């Protein structure tokens, strides 16, 4: 990195974001931690050093994005911003046939439009440092699972946005990468369960007839994913490589499940892949019953 090692991490309150802040702080980075609640920033700061600078940043609010960009600009000055880790995200679940469009819009407001807005606001500072942009995507951006379709849609969009940025910024020495974890032990699974529960409670009777048993199983599957997920620190390892390597990768698969799903997606025709996924889910449903 050519800057004075300043990095902004969005969605820094918990999970992958908090793990990124902690590791970067330990390595001597000046870490701007984007949080929605002041108490979350206080907690991060008390657990680390004074190199951690909490910034109030709800990625769906243009006023907070603009204020964060001004704060960062003043803080980093001519040296610019060496890294942006776009981590903020949510997961919305339920049968796509019955999910309200507003719920899907919210999914995109956070995971896609928020990511884009923050990146646009900070690119001037990133240009000065010839810094790095690292987007936290998911294997769900390559391989769809049922009943989390809005989340998968948003992560497919993150893949396209990352590719587009990389192409348009070619020649600027700004590197752009996407990290694609599989299951990770983070609070997003608890929030996903809440989202699935909310969707289930608001479904019409016919939807319960059609999807009720599957939704109950997918609630168990989310808990199962949490139990078998990799620790957030493995995602942080990929983020660090993307920040520090002379020639970073364009994509970082994290976790055995992510690597398997990516491999199968490359070699299997769609219908064969569908049949395999549905067979695996059926076996898991019997196992978790």
**Would you list the DSSP string of 70-112?**
HHHHHHHGGG---EEEE-------S-TTTS-HHHHHHHHIIII
**Count of CA atoms in the C-beta half-sphere (13 A) of 173:** 10
User: Residues 6 or more apart from 287 whose CB is under 8 A from it?
Assistant: none
CA 24 – CA 139 distance, rounded (Å): 24
Architecture of domain 6-288: 3-Layer(aba) Sandwich (3.40)
Which strand (E) or helix (H) includes residue 32?
Answer: strand 30-35
State residue 243's pLDDT score: 97
User: Residues 6 or more apart from 153 whose CB is under 8 A from it?
Assistant: 104, 107, 108
Residue ranges, the chain, pLDDT below 50? 1-3
Q: Is 35 helix (H, G, I), strand (E, B) or coil?
A: strand
What torsion do the CA atoms of 25, 28, 31, 37 make, to the nearest 10 degrees? 30
Q: What is the 3-class SS of 116-156, one letter each residue?
A: HHHHHHHHHHHHHHCCEEEEECCHHHCCCCCCCHHHHHHHH
User: Which residue, chain included where needed, has tokens 């919210």?
Assistant: 106
- Indicate which residues carry an active-site annotation: 151
122 by Cβ neighbours in 10 Å (0-12 / 13-18 / 19+) ranks as buried
User: What's the token pair of residue 9?
Assistant: 């991490």
State residue 3's pLDDT score: 43
State residue 197's pLDDT score: 63
State residue 192's pLDDT score: 58
247 by Cβ neighbours in 10 Å (0-12 / 13-18 / 19+) ranks as exposed
State residue 187's pLDDT score: 74
Give yes or no for a contact between 142 and 261, defined as CB atoms under 8 angstroms apart. Answer: yes
CA 113 – CA 93 distance, rounded (Å): 19
Q: Are strands 6-9 and 52-56 parallel, antiparallel or unpaired?
A: unpaired
Q: Distances from the Cα of 260 to the Cαs of 132, 182, 253, in angstroms?
A: 28, 10, 10
pTM of the shown model: 0.93
State residue 218's pLDDT score: 86
Give the domain ranges of the chain. 6-288
């Amino acid at each position: 990195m050519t800057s004075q090692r300043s990095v902004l991490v969005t969605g820094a309150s918990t999970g992958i974001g908090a793990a990124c802040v902690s590791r970067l702080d330990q390595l001597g980075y000046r870490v701007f931690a984007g949080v929605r609640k002041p108490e979350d920033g206080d907690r991060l700061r008390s657990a680390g050093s004074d190199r951690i600078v909490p910034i109030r940043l709800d990625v769906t609010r243009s006023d907070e994005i603009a204020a964060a960009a001004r704060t960062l600009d003043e803080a980093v000055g001519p040296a610019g911003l060496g890294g942006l880790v776009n981590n903020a995200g949510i997961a919305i679940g339920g049968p796509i046939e019955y999910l309200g469009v507003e719920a899907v819009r919210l999914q995109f407001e956070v995971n896609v439009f928020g990511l884009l807005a923050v990146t646009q606001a900070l690119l001037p500072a990133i240009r000065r440092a010839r810094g790095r942009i690292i987007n936290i995507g998911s294997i769900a951006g390559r391989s769809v699972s049922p009943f989390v379709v809005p989340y998968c849609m948003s992560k497919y969009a993150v893949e396209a946005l990352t590719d587009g940025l990389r192409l348009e910024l070619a020649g600027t020495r700004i590197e752009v990468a996407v990290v694609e974890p599989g299951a990770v032990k983070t609070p997003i699974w608890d929030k996903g369960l809440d989202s699935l529960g909310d969707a289930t409670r608001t479904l019409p009777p016919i939807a319960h007839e059609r999807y009720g048993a599957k939704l109950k199983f997918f609630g168990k599957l989310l808990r199962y994913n949490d139990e078998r997920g990799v620790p957030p620190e493995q995602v942080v390892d990929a983020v660090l490589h993307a920040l520090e390597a002379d020639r970073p990768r364009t994509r970082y698969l994290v976790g055995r499940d992510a690597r398997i799903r990516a491999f199968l997606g490359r070699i299997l025709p769609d219908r064969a892949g569908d049949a395999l996924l549905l067979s695996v889910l059926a076996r898991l449903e019997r196992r978790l019953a």
